[in-house]
Amino acid sequence: MNKFICKLKKEKGVTGLDITTGAIVFFLFTTLIFTLFLQVYEQSALIKIHQQAMGYIVQICEDIDLQDYNATEDLQEYKEYIIKEIGLPEENYDLTLGVEKYIETHPNAQDLVKKITVNIKYTFDAEERSIEVKKIKVREL
């Protein structure tokens, strides 16, 4: 019978190729995990800032609903009141309020409806972002 003789290479420990392959795999996976962690952190920070801005907008809209129809004529004075009342941090957010009366576009109509625009701008990751909400204020008769 023929015997099949197989000669194996002697194992002398770790070779340079093993170390290089291990280092490359370690570096790639470490970089991938770090990049994913950083992206998740940035997204969660953006969501938190956006959530705070939306909370301020909701509070402003609720406060506008509580005000009289004629009290919302000059929104610049009202803006200062809102910043103090709600506690909007001006160093993080820029608030812009705008009013458009329905009577301005339809001169024959009665002054019963206003469209109020609430805009909050903030900067995240060197990019300016904004949230704009438009609401209608109706005169109660």
What is the signed CA dihedral for 101, 105, 110, 113, rounded to 10 degrees? -30
pLDDT at 68 over 70: yes
Of the pLDDT bands very low, low, confident and very high (cuts 50, 70, 90), residue 77 is confident
What pLDDT digit, counting tens, does each position of 88-134 carry? 888 888 988 888 888 777 778 788 888 999 999 999 888 999 999 99
Question: Percentage of the chain with pLDDT > 90?
Answer: 39
Q: How far apart are CA 45 and CA 41, in angstroms?
A: 6
Other C-beta atoms within 10 Å of 101: how many?
A: 15
Phi/psi region, residue 89 (left: phi>0; alpha: psi -120 to 50; beta: rest), is beta
pLDDT at 7 over 80: no
Q: Which structure tokens are listed for 39?
A: 């992206």
Mean pLDDT highest for which of 38-47, 78-87, 107-116?
A: 38-47
Q: Which residue has the tokens 């109509």?
A: 109
Of the pLDDT bands very low, low, confident and very high (cuts 50, 70, 90), residue 4 is low
Buried b (16+ CB within 10 A) or exposed e, 23-44: eeeeeeeeeeeeeeeeeeeeee
Query: Of 93, 85, 94, 90, nearest to 66 (Cα)?
Result: 85
Q: Is the pTM of this model over 0.85?
A: no
